[in-house]
Amino acid sequence: MNLQQLRIVRETVRRNFNLTEVANALYTAQSGVSKHIKDLEDELGMELFVRRGKRLLGLTEPGKELLPIVERILIDTQNMKHLGEQFAQQDTGHLAIATTHTQARYALPAVVTRFKQAFPKVYLELHECGPGEIVSLLRDGRVDIGIATEALGSEEDLVSFPYYRWRHAVIVPITHPLAGVAPLTLSAIADYPIITYYPGHTGRARIDAAFARAGLAPDVVMSALDADVIKAYVELGLGVGIIAAMAFDPARDAGLCLLDTPDMFDVNTARLGLRRGHYLRDYAVRFILECAPALTAEQVKEAVFPKAALP
């Protein structure tokens, strides 16, 4: 048994049992992938994959039980590598973060600036994607930290911490009729076409819930993944925009105005997500503390590697 065999098992599941894609992902020949799988099955004395001829269709029952063990072994192998790097090169390395456009564009610049000043030799990689993909990247070990409002707080295999609280806000062109309405109501907003976030992104569920509680059915004519796109189309006069309040910049968005909507929408909480058991270099912990200074390094490490779980 060797690590390459375990990597092939994991990658075969990730690639939906397509051995050509597995071979390409691991930079090896498809015949070699098949041989590694057969050798591992022979050594373990059981078939791991359901087959139809030469095609793999899925995992057998033993294969399903083996997969989480394979994942843990490969994670711990990576952890050992990170541990060695921690003591050999404390201020040098790589930090991968998966986050949404809103966080990357509006919440993280100040944090990233402070972090890069403290760790100039650490290569920082930002993946901009949706909440579901952030969870997948964390689980696969392809990123160290995930940041999003949705998804991160409800996954048992992930640890999450509150980052900051925020609300939605309404934006319109400065000449729009709603710009002079006070107090503004959801009913008044619902009289106009609405442009806001795509379902499942940036607190969209709370926007929908606010209108539903008021018995209103808003006419959402466009949806987008990021506030910059929403603002562009609002400025063209295509609808009223509902965005994260921190995405509005009076200097940059001079053609728009932010309307006063206190308590109109529920509060959202952006969260920092980590995979349980994933070793964090000290600079990764420092990045988390830059986001959430109320936390301590000990709290973060204990959440990821609970002492009670150690042998």
Domains, the chain, in order of start with CATH, read: 3-84 (1.10.10.10), 91-164+269-304 (3.40.190.10), 165-268 (3.40.190.10)
Cα–Cα distance between 99 and 105 in angstroms, integer?
A: 10
Segment 67-113, tens digit of pLDDT: 888 887 777 777 677 666 655 566 788 899 999 998 999 999 999 99
Are 167 and 243 in contact by the 8 Å Cβ rule? The answer is: no
pTM over 0.75, yes/no = no
Inform me whether the pLDDT recorded for 48 exceeds 50: yes
Cα–Cα distance between 265 and 268 in angstroms, integer?
A: 9
**Could you count the other beta carbons within 10 Å of the beta carbon of residue 79?**
16
Q: Which has the closest alpha carbon to 15: 28, 2, 26, 1? A: 26
Q: Dig out the tokens for 298 from the structure.
A: 């000990």
Segment 241-279, tens digit of pLDDT: 999 999 999 999 999 999 988 789 999 999 999 998 888
Segment 184-231, tens digit of pLDDT: 999 999 999 999 999 988 899 999 999 999 999 999 999 998 899 999
What does each C-alpha distance from 77 to 90, 100, 295 come to in angstroms? 19, 29, 28
Are 202 and 270 in contact by the 8 Å Cβ rule? The answer is: no
Inform me whether the pLDDT recorded for 53 exceeds 90: no
Q: Helix count (H) and strand count (E) of the chain?
A: 12, 12
* Phi, then psi, of 127 in degrees rounded to 5: -100, 120
DSSP 253: -
Q: Dig out the tokens for 130 from the structure.
A: 């949706």
